[in-house]
Amino acid sequence: MKNKIALEEHFSIEGMEKYTSDVMNAPTFADVMRRLVDTESLRIEAMDKAGIALSILSFYSPGIQAETDPDVAVAAAKKANDFLSEKVIARHADRYAGFAAVPMQNPEAAANELERCVKQLGFKGALINGYSNIHNENTIEYTDEPKFEVFWAKVAELNVPVYLHPRDPLASQQRIYEGHPELLSAAWAYGVETSTHALRLITSGLFDRHPGVNVILGHLGETLPFGIWRVEHIIKRRGMCQDLKKNIMSYLADNFFITTSGVFRTQTLLNTMLEVSSDRILFSTDYPYESAEEAATWFDSCSISEHDRAKIGRENAAKLFNLKTAAESVNTNGSLIHN
């Protein structure tokens, strides 16, 4: 399939390595680190092989959320966003767009930075790497907490989505993984951490206060499509969250988009389509942590209809991000035109 749009695609900046996960320092990740900082050759070559016309890039995990000093976080977010705009998108405007890095350590500053990135830099929304550290590595805040209302109000005003991206649970909360490091990060812990964060957003009433807000989850929903029925069932049976205006399952279907990043499994995709519909699913690869070619090879031949393939691969993203329609959007070189 040509002219796909991908939106969990990460980049890094030389000199800002302090904001990457410790696991990335392992020798096995040397090629990933090389590809994170490359936006001129390796990445575009991988996109071309995978039939990806446009990648929406985001600063890598845990990114700005790992900064403990709020003032430094504000400056680092601006540096990352300006670099993405001036050094990457400006050079390849037909291939790249951007998600803003936002300093959630200062919610008002995060709201202001998101507005600057959307209105001045043309970014398509924000990506938040889970919880944010505040003042020290053992103190964190989740985005459902009341202090973040100013940020979510700005998201609603700007009408752009927020990608909720994983990071490992706080070190002091990893007892269950002790002795089993293989279960940390992307293997398991990322999904548990992120799906719980997403449920916090739902049960906090965020989507009642701001019914038009859209949150994006990667990895085919971080297991939520498979567990959401039981979550709702048990909460209702216990008589909890009765002040919510809708059923919990409805918020997942109405206020979340789900990407295929890092999960190239047809059975999983079909279940997710049944739970939230193909209108709420978006193609992504999780490059360079995953192979764009592997993602595309699977997606281009998986057992879904061509109508759904077109929606998930391109059309849903074009609508969500206010890109030109598929029929209008192809340049002579095969790349997607975007506003």
Q: Which amino acid is at 173?
A: Q
Please indicate whether residue 48 is annotated as part of the active site: no
List Cα–Cα distances, 301 to 152, 260, 319, in angstroms: 38, 14, 24
Cβ contact 54:99 at 8 Å? no
Candidate list 144, 168, 286, 308, residue with the active-site label: 286
Rg (CA), the chain: 19
Query: Got the DSSP string for 226-269?
Result: HHHHHHHHHHHHTT--TT-SS-HHHHHHHHEEEE-TT---HHHH
Strand, coil or helix: what is 37? coil
> Looking at residue 335, what DSSP letter applies?
P
Q: Rounded to whole angstroms, how far apart are CA atoms 97 and 123?
A: 6
Does the bond joining 288 to the residue before it have cis omega, within 30 degrees of 0?
A: yes
Q: Which amino acid is at 194?
A: T
Q: How many residues does the chain have?
A: 339
| Residues contacting residue 182 through CB under 8 Å, at least 6 positions apart | none
The residues that are catalytic are 286
